[in-house]
C-alpha cells in the first residue's frame, strides 16, 4: 500500500462538451508521472469562455489559453487546480502537427510541475523545466514536445 504522503487524489471535472477528451485514467497517469510525493489535485476541462475569463482575471491576458495552474500548497502534499481548455489544446495540436493525446499529456505534466513550484520566468528555469518535461514524457512513451 502506498504511503499517504505519496497518494494522488485527482478529481477531473468535465464542464465542456467536447468529443475525444482524455479519460480520467489518462490524466491520473500523466499527473502521477509528474508528481513527486502526494497530491490533492483537480483538473477542470472548460470551454473557451471560461478559459478566457480565468486567464483574464488571474493573468491579465484576455484570451483562452491551453492550461492554467493554481497552486495552493506543496506541504505536506501538493494541492492545486489545473484548468485545461480542450478547444485550445485541439487547435494547438493540429497547428503543431502533434497527436492530441501527446499534447494533453504534455500540458498535464507542465501544469503539474507548476503546481510543484517549477516556472519558466527566465531562460535557465525554462530550460530546466523543459528538460524535466521531456524526461517525464519520454518515460510515458511520448516524443519531445519541443522538437521542431
DSSP 20: T
- Measuring CA to CA, which residue among 68, 70, 84, 90 is closest to residue 24? 84
Is there a binding annotation on residue 110? yes
103 is in an annotated binding site: no
- Strand ordering across the sheet containing 39-45: 8-14, 39-45, 78-84, 67-73
Report whether 114 belongs to an annotated binding site.
yes
Within 6-125, strands assigned E span 8-14, 39-45, 67-73, 78-84
Residues flagged as binding site for Zn(2+): 110, 114, 120
- Binding residues are 110, 114, 120
Amino acid at each position: 500500500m502506498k504511503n499517504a504522503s505519496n497518494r494522488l487524489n485527482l478529481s477531473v471535472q468535465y464542464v465542456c462538451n467536447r468529443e475525444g477528451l482524455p479519460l480520467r485514467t489518462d490524466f491520473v497517469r500523466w499527473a502521477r508521472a509528474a508528481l513527486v510525493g502526494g497530491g490533492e489535485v483537480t483538473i477542470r476541462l472548460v470551454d473557451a469562455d471560461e478559459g478566457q475569463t480565468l486567464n483574464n482575471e488571474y493573468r491579465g491576458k484576455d484570451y483562452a489559453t491551453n492550461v492554467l495552474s493554481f497552486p495552493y500548497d506543496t506541504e505536506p502534499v501538493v494541492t492545486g487546480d489545473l484548468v485545461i481548455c480542450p478547444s485550445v489544446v485541439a487547435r494547438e495540436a493540429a497547428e503543431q502537427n502533434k497527436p492530441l493525446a501527446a499534447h494533453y499529456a504534455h500540458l498535464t505534466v507542465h501544469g503539474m510541475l507548476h503546481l510543484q513550484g517549477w516556472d519558466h520566468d527566465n531562460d535557465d528555469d525554462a530550460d530546466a523545466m523543459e528538460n524535466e518535461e521531456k524526461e517525464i514524457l519520454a518515460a510515458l512513451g511520448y516524443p519531445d514536445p519541443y522538437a521542431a
